[in-house]
Amino acid sequence: MDFSRRAMLGAMGGLAVGGSIAAMSGNVIAAPAAPEMTGGKDGLFDQQYGLFGWKAHKIDDVAGAMDVAYKGYWYKGLGCGYGAFYAIVNDMAKKYGAPYNTFPYSIMEMFKGGFGDWGTICGALAGAGAAFSLFYGRNESKPMVNELFRWYEKTAFPIYNPGEAAQGFKGDLPTSVSNSVLCHISVSRWSYETKIAANSKQRSERCGRITADVVKKAIEILNAKIDAGKDWKGALGKQESVTQCGACHSKGKMADNVKGNMDCTPCHSGSDHVQNKFVNHP
């Protein structure tokens, strides 16, 4: 056979022409189109699949996702935000491939320790909320976040127990209710009530287990949202403190000087624990 350069080019040309003819006659399947790029004026905010363009899929193996979330917390020390986000999105990546398997998951490491160890939002909540926002815009994801966060405020953690697979501490751990979505308060209250140091292996184990707990609830919310569609609303109402304080301190009220939906009491209860700690301490 003639495999000279001229013969090869001729063969390739024939394939190209033949492919064009076949395509016009409908006998071959055309190559898939590139993902749609949509954005703002002049393409400034263009992105593949458009805003919130990834399709959400139900997650059936909740126990498996919880295990992944727990392991993700410990993986290379990437923490709670990484573990929660990875457990949700990677479940879809395993089943459906792109685009779910194209996400740079390690970006979620910044949520560790309440965002760069600043003790703000619990990283597990941030990771789960970020996963919601891959699929839904604010009007639809906000009720999902509200449900997850309010549940977190009132739940005694940790619940999940990895048993012999525990990576920080084996056995049962004491629980506490944080009444807050802030890492600082959640950890500090647990350490204060249990007398276990905030920088101990037991506390790290607690947060790893909470990552699994948050993923379980987040999947419950995500699956319910997929079933119910656009108009899904959570079951948990506003906290009593938020409703009471909002009667005066909110939009259109006597004093429009408060923004947020967190339980007010951890920081504004008037207790000794949150008052005058910079005067004659301790």
- Identify the sign of the CA torsion 275, 278, 281, 282: positive
Least confident of 45-54, 178-187, 232-241, 265-274: 265-274
Q: Which of 192, 118, 109, 180 is nearest to 151 (CA)?
A: 180
Q: Which of 189, 171, 202, 158 is nearest to 265 (CA)?
A: 189
Angstrom CA distances, 278 to 118, 273, 282, stand at: 20, 12, 9
- One DSSP character per residue, 177-221 reads E-SSSBHHHHHHHHHHHHT--TTSHHHHHHHHHHHHHHHHHHHHH
Counting beta carbons within 10 angstroms of the beta carbon of residue 156, is it exposed (0 to 12), middle (13 to 18) or buried (19 or more)?
exposed
Q: Which two tokens stand for residue 133?
A: 């926002």
Q: Could you tell me the end-to-end alpha-carbon distance of the chain, in angstroms, rounded to an integer?
A: 92
Q: Which two tokens stand for residue 175?
A: 């629980």
Q: Which position has the higher pLDDT, 269 or 226?
A: 226
Tell me the per-residue pLDDT of 209-218, one tens digit each, with 9 for 90 and over: 999 999 999 9
- Angle at CA 178, nearest 5°, toward 172 and 181? 120
Least confident of 141-145, 207-211, 276-280: 276-280
* Residues sharing a CB contact under 8 Å with residue 144, sequence separation 6 or more, in sequence order: 129, 132, 136, 221, 222, 225, 232, 234
Tell me what percent of the residues of the chain surpass a pLDDT of 90: 63
pLDDT at 231: 87
Angstrom CA distances, 179 to 4, 25, 103, 127, 166, stand at: 76, 66, 33, 19, 26
Q: What's the average model confidence in pLDDT over 103-131?
A: 97
pLDDT at 27: 47
Tell me the per-residue pLDDT of 10-43, one tens digit each, with 9 for 90 and over: 434 443 444 443 444 444 444 444 555 565 667 7
Query: Residue 135 pLDDT more than 50?
Result: yes
For the whole model, what pTM was predicted?
0.81
pLDDT at 148: 98
Tell me the per-residue pLDDT of 154-164, one tens digit each, with 9 for 90 and over: 999 999 999 99
Mean pLDDT of the chain: 85
**Confidence grade of residue 177 (pLDDT, cut at 50, 70, 90):** very high
